[in-house]
Amino acid sequence: MKRTKINRLTTLLFVLAAVVFFAGCKRGFLDREPQGSYTQDTYPYPGGSGPYDTYLFGAYSELRQFNVHSQFFIFATSVRSDDADRGSTATDGVPNSSDFDDFPVSPTSTWNNGLWTGYYSFVNKCNIALDQIKNNNAITASPQVKTQSEAEARFLRGYAYFMLVRLFGRVPIIDSVATNAASQSNVPQSQPAAVYSFIESDLQFAAANLPPNWDPKFVGRATSGAANGILAKVYLTQNKWAAAMAAAQSVMNSGQYD
């Protein structure tokens, strides 16, 4: 009998608590009108390229993709160059790592293929952003915003192709959105000289049209200094010494890194 009374009391308290809770949740409590929104004029950083950030951030997100800057990248660059050591044995069950350390990389290497697909996914995200900037008339933006946004996307694409040409040599130059796999599967490879010319064009445009800095809350976004810095490396890779010096001096004389 005592247990029955306790159970009834517990049930009653639960019902009362539920009534109080749901009575407090008035219909309009969660229905709040927006108090404001960012516009082209109020977006909180220089130039205000906010209207295209959905697409630009999609491209930036590729920098964190596993196939772009992770284990594959470390082995293809640092371990391959002996700046780092593989740090395991030949029988540890990871044959791809030995391939990158000793250079017998084959077309069937999952790590090699991962780098290829990762960087071309990166390129495609950049091309999507550029397509939206150039062709989406539903997005209202000033010419200045459009130009700066294009510069940001082209900076990222130039960087992606700089990695591709150093990793693979001859690579296809794809400068439009991949609508389907078949349309991109037969794009011919370009010689490294043509790829480097494409990279230079993207980075030169970025260097000329990106801001020298951003609001601190957007630290990490591409700047003119970053574009000139990578451009200097692009020139050095091709033995273009005078052009490399000029790009490097643009960074040093910018006053942003004192």
Each residue's pLDDT tens digit, 137-177: 898 888 998 999 999 999 999 999 999 999 999 999 999 98
DSSP at 17? H
Quote the pLDDT of residue 23: 53
Look at residue 37 and tell me if it is in a domain: no
pLDDT given for residue 115 in this prediction:
87
For the chain, the residue count is 258
Look up tokens 């790590």; give the residue.
111
Whether 38 maps to a domain, the answer reads no
Structure-block tokens of residue 1: 């009998």
Percent of the chain with pLDDT over 70: 70
Domain-located, residue 126: yes
* CA atoms 186, 152, 228, 67: torsion sign: negative
pLDDT in tens, 13-41: 565 555 555 555 555 555 566 555 544 44
- Strand extents, DSSP E, the chain: 171-172, 189-190
CA distances from 43 to 51, 129, 148, 206 (A): 9, 19, 14, 21
30 inside domain: no
> How many domains does one find in the chain?
1
Strand partners, 171: 190
Instruction: Tell me the two tokens of residue 68.
Output: 């772009």
- Sequence-distant (6+) residues with CB within 8 A of 129 are 52, 55, 56, 58, 59, 149, 152, 153
pLDDT tens digit sequence for 101-144: 666 677 777 777 888 889 999 999 999 999 999 999 898 888 99
Average pLDDT of the residues of the chain:
81
Domain span including residue 237: 43-252
Q: Has residue 74 got a pLDDT over 90? A: no
Distance CA 23, CA 17 (A): 10
What predicted TM-score, i.e. pTM, was given to this entire model?
A: 0.76
Q: 3-class SS at 172?
A: strand
Higher pLDDT among residues 184 and 31, named by residue? 184
d(CA 190, CA 231): 20
The rounded distance, in Å, linking the Cα atoms of 124 and 157 is: 9
Contact 145, 40 (CB under 8 A): yes
In a domain? residue 191: yes
Phi and psi (nearest 5°) for 79? -70, -40
Q: Is residue 32, in this structure, part of any structural domain at all?
A: no
Report helix, strand or coil for 100. Answer: helix
Structural domain contains residue 89: yes
User: CA of 131: how far to CAs of 158, 208, 213, in Å?
Assistant: 16, 20, 25
Asked if residue 129 belongs to a domain, the reply is: yes
- The CATH number of whichever domain residue 134 belongs to comes to 1.25.40.390
